[in-house]
C-alpha cells in the first residue's frame, strides 16, 4: 500500500510538471499555422467529381454527379432574358453533313396583253369582266392573274410621212394642229419624220408642251410631185451601141432604168422608207419606263420601198418590246376599194400599203381618212382606243430564256364582237420580276 501511494504521487508530480511546460510550446506552434478560409454558403461542395463538373438547370446548379468519364455534354442552357425581337428569326439549319444551300426563286413568266373589243358597227364595247375573257398561248388556255380596265399613260412615237404627194401632204399639215388635243397632259410624245430615210425631230416631251407645238409646225413639208412617165419623151427610147451581136444599151440614156426581160420600160420608184422610220421610232420607244402604254402612231399613205430593214425584222422588234402600231391612213389607200386591192401585194413590187401588216401583228388599229376633217377626228379616235384598252395578265408555263415566239389568242364569250390584240410575243430577260424565297 505504501509503495502504491508513493508511485501514484510520483506520477502526479510528473503530470503537473508536464502541464506547466506544454502550454507555452503549444501556443508558439499555433501562432505559426494560418487560419483556414471560412466556407462559403450555397456552393455545391458535396458530390462533385473531378473532370465532370455540374450541369446547370432551370432551378440552379445540380448536385448530381456520375463516376463515368463518357457522360454526354449538357443539352440545355440557362434561360435567356432577351425578347424575341432581340434574338431575331430562327436561322436555317441544314441537315447533318450538308452545308447551307440558298435557292432564289424568280418569276420571269408574267405576260401582259392589252386588247380592244368592238361591236359590228366598229364601236368600243365597255363593261366586260374577267369571266367573259379567255386567253390562249400556243393553243393552251391560260389562267388569268390580272384583269383591269384602268387607263394607262401613253408614250407615243409619232411618225409623219413626208414622201406623200403634195395634195395629201397639205391635208396632213393642216390637220397636225389638232393632234395635241388628242393627248392628255401626262402623255409624252416623240416626233419622227421620213422621206429618204428617218429623222428624229424631238425626243419624248410633254404632250401639251410648247416644244411639241413648235416641232409639229417644223415637221410640215411640201411633199412630192406625183411622178408620171412620158413614153413619148426624148428619153423614152434606148440607144443601142455597137449593133448586131455586140449591141448594148447606153447607160447614159437608159429609159428603162434597169433591164427588163420582157422589154417593158420600168418606171423609176421613189424611196418610201417606212420600215426604217418605224424601227427608229421603236428603238427610242423601247426606252420608255414600265407602266406606260408604248404606241407608234403613223400618219402615212402606207407605201414602202427602199428601207434597209425588212417588215419581218421590224415586227419582231415590236413584239419583243411590247409596242403597238396605230395609224391614220391617208391618200388613195384610205379608200375602201383601193385599200382592198393593196392587200394583194405582187412580188418584187412596191408595197402600196404596208401598215395593215404592222397593226395586225402588234394589236394596233388603222383608220383610213381621205379628207382633212376625217384626219383630224382620227387623232382623237386612235388616242381614245389606245388609252381605254382592256388589260389581262397571266403566268406562262413556258420558259422565258428560250427566246421562242409564242402565239396569243384572246377570245370574248359574247357573240358578234371583234377582239383586237397582238398575235404573239418574244420573251425577254427584261421581264424578270424577282420573288425572293430563301430555303436550305
**Structure confidence at residue 223 (pLDDT):** 82
Decide which of 3.30.365.10, 1.10.10.60, 3.20.20.70, 3.40.50.410 is the CATH code for 154-223+270-387.
Answer: 3.40.50.410
Q: How far apart are CA 182 and CA 383, in angstroms?
A: 6
Which residue intervals of 58-209 are DSSP H helices?
84-87, 166-175
* Residues of the chain above pLDDT 70, percent: 58
Band of residue 109 on the pLDDT scale cut at 50, 70, 90: confident
Q: Quick one: pLDDT at residue 432?
A: 53
User: 148 pLDDT exceeds 60?
Assistant: yes
pLDDT classification of 55: cutoffs 50, 70, 90? low
Question: Does residue 341 carry a pLDDT above 60?
Answer: no
- Phi, psi at 245, each rounded to 5°: -70, -25
Distance CA 187, CA 75 (A): 67
Residue 368 — very low, low, confident or very high, per pLDDT cuts 50/70/90? confident
Cα separations in angstroms, 268 against 119, 258, 271, 349, 350? 44, 9, 10, 12, 11
Domain spans, the chain: 106-149+393-434, 154-223+270-387
Q: When comparing pLDDT for 440 and 142, which is higher?
A: 142
Between CA 82 and CA 80 the distance in angstroms is 6
Q: In whole angstroms, what is the distance from residue 209 CA to residue 262 CA?
A: 56
Q: What is the pTM of this model?
A: 0.66
Q: Which helix (H) or strand (E) holds 379?
A: helix 372-387
- CA proximity to 113, closest of 293, 245, 244: 293
Name the residue with higher pLDDT: 163 or 236.
163
Q: What is the mean pLDDT of the chain?
A: 75
Angle at CA of residue 278, ends 276 and 280, nearest 5°: 65
User: Which pLDDT does position 350 carry in this prediction?
Assistant: 47
Q: 331: left (phi > 0), else alpha (psi -120 to 50), else beta?
A: left
Q: What is the pLDDT of residue 151?
A: 87
Most confident of 7-21, 164-178, 241-255: 164-178
Mean pLDDT of 56-74: 47
- Burial label, 138 (beta-carbon count in 10 A; 0-12, 13-18, 19+): middle
Q: How far is CA 69 from CA 112, 294, 421, in A?
A: 70, 78, 80
Highest mean pLDDT among 10-19, 93-102, 271-280: 271-280
Residue 428 has pLDDT above 60, yes or no: yes
Amino acid at each position: 500500500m505504501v509503495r502504491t501511494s508513493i508511485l501514484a504521487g510520483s506520477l502526479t508530480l510528473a503530470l503537473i510538471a508536464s502541464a506547466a511546460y506544454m502550454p507555452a510550446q503549444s501556443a508558439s506552434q499555433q501562432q505559426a499555422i494560418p487560419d483556414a478560409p471560412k466556407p462559403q454558403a450555397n456552393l455545391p461542395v458535396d458530390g462533385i467529381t473531378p473532370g465532370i463538373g455540374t450541369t446547370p438547370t432551370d432551378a440552379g446548379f445540380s448536385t448530381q454527379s456520375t463516376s463515368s468519364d463518357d457522360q454526354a455534354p449538357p443539352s440545355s442552357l440557362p434561360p435567356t432574358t432577351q425578347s424575341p425581337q432581340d434574338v431575331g428569326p430562327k436561322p436555317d439549319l441544314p441537315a447533318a453533313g450538308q452545308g447551307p444551300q440558298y435557292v432564289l426563286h424568280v418569276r420571269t413568266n408574267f405576260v401582259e396583253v392589252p386588247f380592244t373589243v368592238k361591236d359590228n358597227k366598229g364601236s368600243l364595247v365597255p363593261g366586260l369582266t374577267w369571266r367573259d375573257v379567255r386567253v390562249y398561248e400556243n393553243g393552251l388556255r391560260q389562267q388569268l392573274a390580272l384583269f383591269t380596265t384602268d387607263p394607262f399613260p401613253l408614250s407615243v412615237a409619232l411618225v409623219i410621212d413626208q414622201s406623200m404627194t403634195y395634195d395629201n401632204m397639205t391635208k396632213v399639215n393642216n390637220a397636225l394642229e389638232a393632234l395635241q388635243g388628242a393627248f392628255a397632259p401626262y402623255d409624252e410624245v416623240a416626233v419622227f419624220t421620213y422621206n429618204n430615210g428617218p429623222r428624229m425631230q424631238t425626243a419624248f416631251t410633254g404632250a401639251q408642251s410648247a416644244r411639241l407645238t413648235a416641232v409639229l409646225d417644223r415637221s410640215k413639208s411640201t411633199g412630192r410631185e406625183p411622178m408620171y412617165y412620158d413614153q413619148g419623151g426624148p428619153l423614152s427610147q434606148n440607144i443601142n451601141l455597137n449593133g448586131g451581136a455586140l449591141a448594148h444599151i447606153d447607160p447614159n440614156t437608159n429609159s428603162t432604168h434597169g433591164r427588163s426581160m420582157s422589154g417593158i420600160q420600168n418606171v423609176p420608184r421613189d424611196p418610201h422608207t417606212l420600215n426604217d422610220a418605224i424601227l427608229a421610232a421603236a428603238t427610242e420607244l423601247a426606252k420608255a419606263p414600265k407602266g406606260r402604254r408604248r404606241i407608234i402612231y403613223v400618219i402615212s399613205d402606207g407605201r414602202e420601198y427602199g428601207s434597209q430593214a425588212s417588215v419581218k425584222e421590224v415586227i419582231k422588234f415590236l413584239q419583243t418590246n411590247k409596242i403597238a402600231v396605230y395609224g391614220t391612213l391617208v391618200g388613195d389607200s384610205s379608200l375602201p376599194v383601193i385599200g382592198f386591192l393593196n392587200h394583194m401585194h405582187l412580188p418584187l413590187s412596191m408595197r402600196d400599203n404596208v401598215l395593215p401588216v404592222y397593226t395586225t401583228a402588234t394589236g394596233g388599229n388603222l383608220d383610213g381618212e381621205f379628207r382633212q376633217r376625217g384626219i383630224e377626228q382620227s387623232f382623237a379616235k386612235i388616242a381614245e382606243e389606245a388609252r381605254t384598252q382592256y388589260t389581262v395578265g397571266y403566268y406562262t408555263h413556258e420558259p422565258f430564256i428560250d427566246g421562242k415566239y409564242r402565239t396569243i389568242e384572246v377570245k370574248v364569250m359574247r357573240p358578234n364582237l371583234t377582239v383586237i390584240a397582238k398575235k404573239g410575243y418574244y420573251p425577254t430577260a427584261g421581264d424578270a420580276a424577282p420573288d425572293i424565297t430563301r430555303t436550305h
